[in-house]
Amino acid sequence: MGTDPTSITSPSNPTIKAAAALHRRRARTRTGTFLVEGRREVLRALAAPVEVRSLFLAPAFGPVDDVAEAAEARGVVPLRVGERAFRKLSVRQRPDGVAAVVERVPLDLDRIAASDLVLVADGIEKPGNLGAMLRTADAVGAAVVVADPVVDVFNPNVVRASQGALFTVPLAVAEATDALAALPPRRLLVARPDATTPYWTEDLRGPTAVVVGREDRGVSEPWLRAGAGIVVPMRGVVDSLNASVAAAVVLYEALRQRLTA
């Protein structure tokens, strides 16, 4: 990028302040937008059918020409940003100089209707866990239902942990009862530590939904009543697996069965 006399250098610039405000959920909800930071994540946003409202490039942190080219192909005009201004909107200790304001993606349940493998994240509140689940779902070709409308899937840490899978995975957010009613007929399996059926003994080749809950509370009652219990056996002294790890173990077994069928 060449010298741009209109580049933003001040952290007090209104455009920078508006983008930085998206660190807060209230601002994300009010504007219908969220902040995406990181070269990889922004490139995936530019490749997805979402509206990129603003794009910030700060060459002081590293090369940005490939992002500028991808933006040009989408008709997005990037803003050149100085180091101090970019740090105002960044949440990373080591930013790479790329960030964007993106319009929130739809989260309706009809987005997952065509998927024959669905991960239900029941009450998963930690952004890192939820982002990791999205990343795994992308890897195995699954959709994701976040069965708790209180959870904010546009939290910057969810976006980062997902590595941009937020833009590639069919994703819906709903109450458990609504999600249950909307899921097409399929095998419903609930990961729970007190179950006796190892996950690999189930036939996961057909339409399947796998429900994983919080490590401290487990899966909520509607899913327990509706699904069959499966367990990821453990031989150590800890009493639970990280929720995103448990989800990955079961989803990859589903992928293995489908690839070897």
To 5 degrees, how large is the angle CA 150–CA 155–CA 158? 105
Query: Is 221 domain-assigned?
Result: yes
Query: Is 1 domain-assigned?
Result: no
Give yes or no: residues 119 and 227 share one domain: yes
Say which CATH number the domain at 233 has.
3.40.1280.10
Mean pLDDT value of segment 247-251: 98
Give yes or no: residues 137 and 123 share one domain: yes
Say which CATH number the domain at 62 has.
3.30.1330.30
Provide the whole-model pTM: 0.91
The pLDDT assigned to 32 comes to 97
pLDDT tens sequence across 54-90: 999 999 999 999 999 999 999 999 999 999 999 999 9
pLDDT tens sequence across 97-107: 999 999 998 89
Give yes or no: residues 119 and 159 share one domain: yes
pLDDT tens sequence across 213-246: 988 888 999 999 999 999 999 988 887 789 999 9
Contacts of 119 (CB under 8 A, 6+ apart): 133, 136, 137, 142, 143, 144, 145, 209, 210, 212, 247, 251
